[in-house]
Structure formats: structure tokens, C-alpha cells
Structure 1
Amino acid sequence: MVLRTESLESGYMDERTINMDEVPELSSGWREFARDFVPGMDRPEHCHREAQLLYAQKGVMLVRTSDSVRLIAPFQALWIPAGVRHSISFLADTQMRSLYFSDDALHRLKHLNDRVRVLAATPLIRELFSALFSKKVPPATALLMTNLVLRLVVEAEELGAALPIADDEAFGPLQSEILSRRLWSMTMEEASSRLSLSPKTFSRKFNRALGMTWRDWMARARLCASLDLLLSGRTLKDAAFGAGYADQATFTAAFRKLFGTTPGAMQKSARRA
């Protein structure tokens, strides 16, 4: 099967091939779930008998599993294998959409269920989610669309630009507060004082827990948080200021370095979807 896919950055179309032998045809074994959340709401720790494809049509959420905490913003999707315990915290008005797939439906995709994955929610995936959850699609058509979503997930790019959140009682709550209140001006000295640590000790422990420096994490957090502003229809200038940047040009350069596309191109793609 050959799919024509749209490039976020260039707007041109290219082609790629999906191996149909690797992807099952769903006839059953899937279901959907949609719910909107406001900032401060949580879904306590739980697990599902099915694998879950989790997507924020709008908003930002923190998903905690036993081994890590991941921030999921628009243009990202999260694959959670069956039986993986997780909890979710919502940092903004969020439209959460999920598709669930049973073991029987995924019996030929065992490799997909070996771990949690942060995936790129391409324009086509976003458009399919939007249509599936509009409730205007006949059941037979919804089945075809769900099959296509699963095929796209098999080939989806795994994102290395995810934002790590510490799963402990010190750094984790501090990071969540920074994200929810957009405390981009907080210095490492201020952060270490909050935790009653010296800056040197804070830096060492933070690097060990997160795998990056405080400065690098703050830079990435600002850019990840800007995704929600872009999707909500704010101007590029507002998104830049909301992410703590003094000017749009600096914001655009940093955004492109992390995500591989410009904020303007990403916003236009979201509008088309």
C-alpha cells in the first residue's frame, strides 16, 4: 500500500510504502474513548486490558508510568501497551482522545507492544482522529479509518524530543508547577532553594535524574509548552512570548532545532487537520 503523506515543513507530498503483511486488518477488537479535561484534573493510576493510543487533540498532559513521566502535547501521540499502569495529569484545557486495541487485534504486532512510545502525530493521523471522534462517520467507514490509523502507527516516527519529568517527590512536582504556571524565569538557584539544596547538589541530582542540565530542560519545556498555544490559534508572537522568548525570531530558530519544522508550518498543518 502506498500512502501520500504531507511534509509539515515544505507542504509538498511524498510517498512511502507500508508493508501490509505486518499490519492486521481489524474487524473487531477496538474501541474509542473521548473526554475533555480542565487544568488540575487527574486520572488516577490505572491500566487497560487493551493497548492504548493516546492523543491530545488540544491541550497538554503528563502521563506517568512506572519508569518515567512524559509530557504529551499536540502533534504527539502516546502508545501504551496493554497492562501498563499509568496516571494522567492535565496542565491545560485538554481534549483527550484514545483508541484501544485488544490482544487479538494486535496478535501480529507483538513488537509494537513491547514498550511505551512517544510518536509523531502526523497531519493524517490528526485528521483521522478528528473525523473518528466527530461521531459523523458510519461504522463501516470508522473501521476502515481505524485500520489506517493502526497502519500509520506502525510506521510513525518515534520522537526524541519528548520532555522528561522526574518521577519523585522533589523534582517531579517542581517541574509540573513550572509547566502549569509557565515559570520560565525561574533560575536554578531559585529552584534549588525551593528544595533546600545547594545549587551544586541540585545540579548533580537533576542531571542524574533527568539526563540533561537544568538549562537544557527549561529550554525544552518552554518549546513543548508552546505547542498548546500554537494549536489554540494564538499568534506566533503570542506563542513566543508565552514560551518566555523575547522575540519571535529566536523562538522560531529554537523551535525548528528541536522539532525539525517551524512553528508557523506546524500551526498551518494543525489548521488543515
Structure 2
Amino acid sequence: MPQRHPDDYENVPRPVVGIGNDYPSSFELAEHSHRRGQFLYAARGVVAVSTPFGAWVAPAERAVWIPAGTPHSVRMVGAVQTRSVLVASSASAALAERCRVVAVSPLLRQLLVEAAEVPAEYDERGRDGLVMDLLVAEICRAPVIPILVPFPRLPALAKRCHRFLENPRVGETIDDWSGDLAMNRRRFTRLFRRETGMSFSEWRQQACLSVALPRLAAGESVTAIALDLGYDAPGNFATMFKRVLGVPPSRYRQPSSESS
């Protein structure tokens, strides 16, 4: 499939436009934004989306909703095949105003694949128009998946969060962070929740998941990932993973990967 750049479709006189692209392993799209909202789905591989406000990871059967005007960069994990939908504000009133990861049902998946083949200036009253209408309806009802790593606006705290994502360790504590930032424990916990909307332990857990998911998709063993994150045993990591995402970490590994 030829590469399709979203900016080429900003002025298409249709409320919804489907596009599809293939990317090589580890390809990165530098920070950019679109006038339309983007529903980004990886039919193959994993996409990791970063914004000034947080990070979102979409492995198999997941997609990221990126509202219009949101600056974002995208990193491909493995060879990635995307099927995206660009949605004008006139058709996205029912969609969220913030980025989120949602589940992609079999029906929604097929609609995304089909939309990528629909001509940009399709007949809105014909079959293609019905496909696009149903696609938006399915996006609106897609369940939200709790994978979210919000970044604080306070520069010193944001820097500390980014440092953690570079080398996440589940054993890091409030006392470790408050000491680094020269704050007392009480002030730190209040500030962290105000800046991120999460407790420190919730954020730390989400950050560890956001790092683990691309590694799982790349075929790394559950044991290696768990130990790198600082878990005493793979079983403890697997228990946390299943509690949050509803499935064991092995569910996210490539079929060709060796068993852990």
C-alpha cells in the first residue's frame, strides 16, 4: 500500500477519511499534529504515542485516539501496519477530548481495514458513507483500556517522570522521589496527584506496563522483563499485569516467541 500522509487529507470534503501505512521496525514519526482527530490502530506490530501530556501504548487489539490539534510523536515497535481514521470535528463531538487507548473489536477492526480502501471523496449517501458512519459509531462505543502515563506540567517533576520511564523500577518509592525533589513526603504525594491525576503507585504501575508492552510485543520473555522492572519473581509481574489488563502477559507476545 502506498504511503498516505494525514496532512494530505486535511482539506478533503468528507468528515471521515481512512488511511493505511506500512512502517519498518523502529521507525519514528517526529512530533506533529493534525487538524482532524486521529484514531490510530496497528493491524500489525505496536505503536507507542507520546504527547506533552503523557504516553500511550497500543498493542494488538488496541488503538489510540488522538484529539485534533494534539502534538504527538509515534514510535513503531516491530514492523508496523497502521490503519487510521482521520475524523473532522463535525463528526467527533461524541469522542473524547483527551488521548486514550481503547479496545478494538473484530467488527471495528474490519471497518478500519475497509476504510483504508475507501476513496477519499467517497459517496456519503452510498455504501462507503454507511461504512464510515458505522466506523465512527463503533469508535464511540469502544471500551477504554487503562493504559495511561500522564506527564506533569511542573518541569522538575516531569523530568523525574521521564527519567523513570527510561529505567523503570517497581521498587522506587515515594521517599526516593520526594528526596530527589527536596520535598517532604506529604507535599510530594499531594503535588503528584494534582499534577498527574493519579497516586504515585498507580502512575508507577502504568509506567511499568507502558514499557513492558512493547517489549512483550517484540518477543522478549516475561521473566526477563519482570526482572528488569525489579520484580522479585515473574509471577508477581504476571499477577499485576492480569489484574490491570485482564489477560496474562504471554497474551501480548508474538506467536513466534519462545515460551518464558
Question: Which TM-score band (shorter chain)?
Answer: 0.5 to 0.7
Assess if the C-alpha contact under 8 Å between 1:58 and 1:74 holds in 2.
Answer: yes
1:185 to partner: Cα distance: 3.8
Aligned with 1:115: secondary structure? coil
Quote how far apart the aligned CAs of 1:157 are: 0.6
Q: TM-score, normalised by structure 1?
A: 0.65
**Cα distance, 1:131 vs structure 2:** 6.7
Q: Which residue, out of 152, 156, 161, partners 1:166?
A: 152
Q: Is the 8 A contact 2:15 2:87 kept in 1?
A: no
Corresponding residue of 2:194: 208
Aligned residue type for 1:74: P
Q: State how many pairs are aligned.
A: 232
Q: Which residue of 2 aligns with 1:22?
A: none
Question: Where does residue 258 of structure 1 map in the other structure?
Answer: 244
- Identical columns (%): 19
Q: Cα deviations across residues 222-269 of structure 1 (Å, max 9, x unaligned)?
A: 233211121111122223223322212211211111112222234378
**After superposition, where does 1:170-185 map in structure 2 within 5 Å?**
170-185=156-171
- Equivalent position of 1:69 in the other structure: 54
> Given that residues 41 and 64 in structure 2 are in contact (C-alpha distance below 8 angstroms), is that contact kept between their aligned partners in structure 1?
yes
Which structure 2 residues correspond to residues 226-237 of structure 1 after superposition, within 5 A? 226-237=212-223
Of residues 82, 85, 93, the one that matches 1:110 is 93
In the TM superposition, residue 166 of structure 1 has moved relative to its aligned partner by 1.5
1:198 Cα offset (Å): 2.9
Distance 1:141 1:163, change over 3 A: same
Higher mean displacement: 185-194 or 172-181: 185-194
Residues 139-150 of structure 1 correspond to what in structure 2 (within 5 A)?
Answer: 139=117, 147=132, 150=136
> Residue type of the partner of 1:69?
G
| Inter-CA distance 178–98: structure 2 relative to 1 (3 Å threshold) | farther
Q: Report how far residue 72 of structure 1 moved.
A: 2.6
Separation of aligned partners in 2, 1:37 and 1:268: 14
- Counterpart for residue 87 of structure 1: 72
Whether 2:42 is the aligned partner of 1:51: answer no
- Once the two structures are TM-superposed, the CA of residue 123 in structure 1 deviates from its matched residue by 6.6
Could you list the runs of 5+ residues in structure 2 that have no partner in the other structure?
1-13, 123-127
**Which amino acid is the alignment partner of residue 93 of structure 2?**
K
User: Does residue 29 in structure 1 map to residue 17 in structure 2?
Assistant: yes
1:81–1:200 Cα change, 3 Å: closer
Per the alignment, residue 102 of structure 2 pairs with 120
Cα-Cα RMSD? 4.1
| Matches for 1:262-273 after TM superposition, within 5 Å | 262-267=248-253
Q: Name the CA distance, whole Å, in 1 between partners of 2:223 and 2:182.
A: 36
